[in-house]
Amino acid sequence: MSNNNSELESNSDRIKFGLIGTGARCGGLSRTLVKDPEQRGDVIALCDINQTALKKAEGMVKSYLKHGTKNYTDYRELLDNPDVDAVIISPPDFLHHKMAIDAFNAGKHVFLEKPVGINLDQMIDIVNAAKNSGKTLEVGYVLRYAPFFVEMKKMIDDEEIGEPLFCQALEEYYGAYHFYRGWWKKKANTGGIMIQKICHDMDLHYWMFGKPKKICAFESLMNFKPGGWDNKGAVTCHECENRCPYFTPETGGRTNSDECVFNDPHDITDNCQIIIQFETGLNLSMGMNFFNSRGQSDRHWRVVGSKGEITGRLSTGMIRYDPRFDSTMGFEKTKVYLCNKPGTGGHAGGDAVQILEFLQAIKEGRESKAGIESAYWSSIMIMGAQMSADKDKIVRIQDLTDKYPYPG
Ligand SMILES: NC(=O)c1ccc[n+]([C@@H]2O[C@H](COP(=O)([O-])OP(=O)(O)OC[C@H]3O[C@@H](n4cnc5c(N)ncnc54)[C@H](O)[C@@H]3O)[C@@H](O)[C@H]2O)c1
């Protein structure tokens, strides 16, 4: 079903976008796309099954671009619109597979929100469709565009720490309570919370340290479960008599629900530890938990090399460098790099850079930085980690790459 808007009038020399799944993430991403004249793309079509989300997106486009949009509730009709050059696909994760493949088959460039499908069968279909289409794929791995991680990668490539020998990464996310509501709370919809949340980090690990060799992971549900808060069995916020700090009044915010994050049934976990050995021999551990203190909500990184180490927290935009052999114990030779000021836009400044890269890649007819290679290897790692946790065994990466070969 589509409705034409009589005020539809767009700028013909810009890449024309259709947005599919105009929820929370699409809002931030598409506003970045249209608001800055230097990197502006045009948005001419929208699709969502929810009229409220659709109207919100329509209002946003109109406020920046001063024109209307064609609105759809069936994404296949949007893909049939020959004026649409590129799509941003950001519905719930379990819809990524079919929508992305249909979009490539319709000849569109695709910005696909992460994850790249919810399992390796879906991932390989998507990367093969991207490869065969010759169109540009950009996965929503926004962190590889955040100045903090760009600087970290540059320091590694420039051998400031010598050969990378060891890495510890930690994601602590206070805001993750919304995962225990709405579509996020079922593993069947996301592939699991590791795939949903720290596929980003796997992309960064591959980018910095190359191909993985083996992986093992443990996950469990420690706190977001009955007993995690004394609320006498309430399963919704509105019936709760002992409100927790995650109390979400009225609409329930992001997921439009007020399900109790402790008592409402869900089958995802709330913490994990992953260990990866790379082909270089580097051992990496990556932790994630959602019951951290609010002030520590962050990505914390430490990379130790043969000549020195770098440590940092994403939210501060600061990376500290310590040379390995420093007789002053850090008083004279330690350096601090300020990569960006806090508050420089969504995802630590990554959103704006990523949209620009996608537009550039389309214009230059090339693959994007967070393109096929990134989609493939990040998924091999995080979906391999999920297999390890599910099957309680160490996963050899070669077994996965034999079964799901990189598109040739
Ligand atoms: N890159 C990042 O850092 C990042 C951050 C947040 C979310 N995400 C990803 O973005 C995606 C969306 O997340 P969100 O937070 O916006 O969720 P959301 O629930 O707010 O939005 C999803 C939207 O998709 C719509 N939708 C559902 N089924 C549809 C269908 N068949 N056709 C069209 N629209 C449909 C829903 O009505 C909703 O408006 C997810 O895949 C998520 O993993 C990525």
Mean pLDDT of 352-368: 93
Tokens linked to 209: 């340290």
CA 351 – CA 298 distance, rounded (Å): 17
Distance between Cα 191 and ligand 1 center (Å) = 15
Tens-digit pLDDT profile for residues 147-204: 999 999 999 999 999 999 999 999 999 999 999 999 999 999 999 999 999 999 999 9
Pocket test for ligand 1, best of 1, 48, 93, 173 (most atoms within 8 A of CB): 48
Q: Is the CB of 20 under 6 A from ligand 1?
A: yes
CA 324 to chain centre: 33
Mean per-residue pLDDT, 208-237: 95
Work out the angle at residue 9's Cα, subtended by the Cα atoms of residues 6 and 12, and round it to the nearest 5 degrees.
Answer: 155
142 Cβ closer than 6 Å to some ligand 1 atom: yes
Output the six-digit token pair for 406: 């990189």
In which band, very low, low, confident or very high, does the pLDDT at 251 lie, cut at 50, 70 and 90? low
| Token output for 294 | 């609010």
> Ligand 1 centre from 21 Cα, in Å?
6
Contacting residues for 45 by C-beta, under 8 A, at least 6 apart? 16, 17, 18, 19, 69, 70, 71, 72, 78, 81, 83, 84
Is any atom of ligand 1 closer than 6 Å to the C-beta of 56?
no
Instruction: Give the per-residue pLDDT at 11.
Output: 62
Q: 369-386: per-residue pLDDT in tens?
A: 999 999 999 999 999 999
Task: Give the lowest-confidence range in 129-133, 227-231, 328-332, 371-375.
Answer: 328-332
| C-alpha–C-alpha distance, residues 155 and 304, integer Å | 12
From the CA of 346, how far away is ligand 1's center (Å)? 16
Evaluate: CB of 53 within 6 angstroms of ligand 1. Answer: yes
User: For the chain, what's the residue count?
Assistant: 408
Nearest-5° Cα angle at 92, 210 to 284: 25
User: Taking the CA atoms of the chain, what radius of gyration do you get in angstroms?
Assistant: 22
- Cβ-in-10-Å burial (0-12, 13-18, 19+) of 292 comes to middle
Evaluate: CB of 25 within 6 angstroms of ligand 1.
Answer: yes
Q: Whose CA is nearest to atom 39 of ligand 1?
A: 23
> How many of the other CB atoms lie within 10 Å of CB of 325?
7
The whole-chain average pLDDT of the chain stands at 93
Q: Which domains does the chain have, with CATH numbers?
A: 2-141 (3.40.50.720), 144-347+369-403 (3.30.360.10)
Which of 296, 301, 267 lies closest to 286, judged by CA? 301
The C-alpha angle 124, 129, 133, rounded to 5 degrees, equals: 150
Q: Do residues 204 and 323 touch, judged by C-beta distance below 8 A?
A: no
Question: Is 75 touching ligand 1 by the criterion CB < 6 Å?
Answer: yes
Given pLDDT bands bounded at 50, 70 and 90, which one contains residue 2?
A: very low
pLDDT digits (tens, 9 = 90+) for 199-219: 999 999 999 999 999 999 999
The verdict on the CB of residue 50 being under 6 Å from ligand 1 is: yes
Output the residue whose Cα is nearest ligand 1's atom 4. 25
Express each pLDDT in 60-71 by its tens digit.
999 999 999 999
The answer to whether residue 4 scores a pLDDT higher than 60 is: no
Closest C-alpha among 40, 37, 45, 36 to residue 17: 45
Work out the pLDDT band at 54, boundaries 50, 70, 90. Answer: very high
Could you tell me which of 366, 391, 334, 379 has the C-alpha nearest to residue 141?
Answer: 379
User: Rounded mean pLDDT of 385-397?
Assistant: 98
- Report the pLDDT value the prediction gives residue 3, as an integer from 0 to 100: 44
Q: Cα(152)–Cα(167) distance, rounded to whole angstroms?
A: 12
3-state secondary structure of 334: coil
Cβ of 113 closer than 6 Å to ligand 1, yes or no, is yes
The pTM of the full predicted model, rounded to 2 decimals, is 0.95
User: Which strands sit side by side in the sheet containing 298-305, from one edge to the other?
Assistant: 335-338, 318-323, 308-313, 298-305, 164-172, 283-289, 271-278, 212-220, 395-396
Distance CA 382, CA 395 (A): 11
User: Can you read off the two tokens belonging to residue 254?
Assistant: 């992001």
Q: What was the pLDDT predicted at 327?
A: 86
Q: Which residue's CA is the nearest one to ligand 1's atom 2?
A: 140
Does any ligand 1 atom lie closer than 6 A to the CB of residue 349?
no
Q: What's the average model confidence in pLDDT over 293-309?
A: 96
- Residue 49 CA to residue 107 CA, distance in Å, equals 23
| Nearest-angstrom CA–CA distance, 383 and 223 | 24
Peptide bond into 91 cis (omega under 30): no
Tell me the C-alpha distance between 236 and 121, whole Å. Answer: 36
117 lines ligand 1 (CB under 6 A): no
Q: Is the CB of 248 under 6 A from ligand 1?
A: no
pLDDT of residue 342 exceeding 70, the answer is no
